[in-house]
């Protein structure tokens, strides 16, 4: 009498092949939806579709966001993570990236003149190295694309960059990469 050895995996597939196919199909669809949703600039949050504007027109990125690689900061003579994007443009106008409410207008020696705007769905945008006397004050309501000030060299922590905007975006109080939200393809 011959004893045959059964492969448990083959037996499992014979009995449950339909469930395996359905599971693989669902996983594939979920991955495709995740990739497509992650590649769009409009962020769907609940019933609100957020369309981000650019903080400057005709700007170039002089220092990009990096949370994983240290970047040299010659002004402070140190290496650091750069959780912001620095923009420079011949046109120094700075604009709100979303509708919101100005929660802070301040000055400190490292960041220069700063405007902070709170938006819907946990977003906060912070505009540093602005020129003296920003065009908004605490409590003002702003709309996406509204001019809030001008870029300058008021930030001593990045004095080597000259006139520029140091832009930081937060989601639920954590800095996030603005590249994921702003249409910077041509910058």
Kindly list the domain boundaries of the chain, sorted by start residue.
52-180
The dihedrals phi and psi of 136, each to the nearest 5 degrees, come to -125, 160
Class of domain 52-180: mainly beta
Q: What is the pLDDT of residues 17-57, one digit of tens each?
A: 777 777 778 877 777 776 655 544 444 444 456 789 999 99
Q: Report pTM.
A: 0.71
């Amino acid at each position: 009498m011959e004893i045959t050895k059964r492969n448990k995996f083959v037996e499992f597939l014979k009995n449950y092949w339909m469930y395996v196919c359905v599971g693989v199909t669902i996983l594939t669809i979920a991955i495709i939806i995740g990739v497509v949703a992650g590649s769009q600039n409009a962020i769907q949050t609940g019933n609100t579709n957020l369309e981000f504007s650019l903080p400057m027109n005709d700007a170039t990125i002089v220092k990009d966001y990096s949370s994983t690689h240290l970047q040299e900061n010659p002004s402070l003579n140190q290496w650091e993570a750069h959780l912001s994007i620095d923009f420079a443009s011949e046109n120094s106008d700075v604009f709100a990236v979303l509708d919101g409410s100005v929660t802070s207008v301040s000055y400190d020696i490292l960041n220069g003149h700063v405007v902070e705007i709170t938006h819907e769905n946990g977003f906060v945008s912070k505009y540093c190295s602005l020129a003296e006397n920003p065009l908004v004050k605490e409590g003002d309501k702003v709309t996406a694309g509204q001019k809030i000030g001008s870029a300058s060299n008021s930030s001593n922590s990045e004095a080597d960059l000259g006139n520029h905007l140091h832009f930081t975006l937060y989601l639920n109080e954590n800095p996030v990469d603005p590249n994921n939200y702003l249409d910077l393809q041509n910058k």
